[in-house]
Amino acid sequence: MIKKYRKIKGITQEELAEMLDITPRQVQRLENYQSDPRLSTLKKLIKCLEIKDKDIIEYLKK
């Protein structure tokens, strides 16, 4: 879901990492459901990528 929104925005993993103040590897882990974001990172993700409420709820369920 994060990857889908990132690609829609035309942002690279490196650019998103910079926006979120995390590493590109952390972005990769988030996109592959290998780690859960901190609340502060999640808030930034929602704002930067303009993620819809229903999609963020589905992401958090996984």
Domain positions in the chain: 2-61
Residue with token string 């998103």? 16
* Separation of first and last alpha carbons in the chain: 11
Q: What's the rounded Cα separation, in Å, for the pair 60 and 8?
A: 20
As assigned by CATH, the class of the 2-61 domain is: mainly alpha
Provide the pLDDT for residue 60.
81
The predicted pLDDT at position 9 comes to 95
Q: How many percent of the chain have pLDDT more than 70?
A: 100
- For residue 7, what are the contacts with CB-CB under 8 A and spacing of at least 6? none
d(CA 8, CA 34): 22
Q: Which residues does the chain have with pLDDT short of 50?
A: none
